[in-house]
Amino acid sequence: MAEHTNKQLDEITLSTESIYKGKIISVQVDTVKLPNGDESKREVVRHSGAVAVLAIHNDRMIVVEQFRQPLGRTQVEIPAGKLDPGEKPEDAINRELKEETGYTAKSMKLLFSFYTSPGFADEIIHLYLADELTAGDAELDEDEFLEVTEITLEEAFAQIREGRMSDAKTIMAVQAWQLLKLGAQPGQ
């Protein structure tokens, strides 16, 4: 990631108040000096980042259905997981794909690294494209319950329409797959 910054738009952090330190996120409120000299508050959620993967096997996308407490229902998403402290994304993605779905990939290519919600959170997701998949047994965490399935692009479109598939990384992956099937490179 380039560290470009437009100095005329910069805010200066004056102080930071820690609100919460949890297992997945921590929360802080920063007091900042705005470009016009006024002060304002910025609520910030810290997250260690995650990896996700567009994994195509026999022209079907591997997806997992799992319960999402913030939504109060299950969602169909591409395989994904948090980065362990100090873990490299390219190592994490092979581990997560294997743990969640049992599949291993011969090669992984980074498609996009993106911030999920930069207005209030620093969570970054590294989205990979997996190639040459081999099936195997999943190895789920003890508090992880999910169902693995494989769906066609048309089924993915239908699940987006129905709202069963409705998170950023998954819709981004479906669009990337749609572009790849048209012979285009996503984002280039």
Of the pair 104, 168, the CB lying nearest its own copies is at 168
CB of 137 to its own copies, least distance (A): 19
Q: Retrieve residue 187's tokens.
A: 């984002």
Single-letter amino acid code for the residue at 178: Q
**Residue 3 labelled as part of a binding site:** no
Min dist. Cβ of residue 106 to its own copies (A): 25
Closest to its own copies by CB, 103 or 159: 159
Nearest CB to its own copies, comparing residues 138 and 168: 168
Q: Is beta strand 12-21 parallel, antiparallel or unpaired with respect to 80-82?
A: unpaired
Cβ atoms of residues 146 and 75 within 8 Å: no
144 in a labelled binding site:
yes
Is there a binding annotation on residue 52?
A: no
Query: Among 3, 132, 142, 154, which one carries the catalytic annotation?
Result: 142
Q: Which residue, 104 or 178, has its beta carbon nearer to its own copies? A: 178
Residue 63 near residue 76, CB atoms below 8 Å? yes
Q: Token pair of 178, please?
A: 């749609």
Distance (Å, rounded) from C-alpha 185 to C-alpha 111? 9
Is 90 among the annotated ligand-binding positions? no
- Pair 50, 96: CB distance under 8 Å: no
- C-alpha 10 chain-centroid distance: 27
142 is catalytic: yes
Shortest distance (Å) from residue 55 CB to its own copies:
18
Beta carbon of residue 165, minimum distance to its own copies (angstroms, whole number): 9
The H-or-E segment that residue 160 falls in is helix 153-162
Kindly list the catalytic residues: 142
**Binding annotation for Mg(2+):** 80, 96, 100, 144
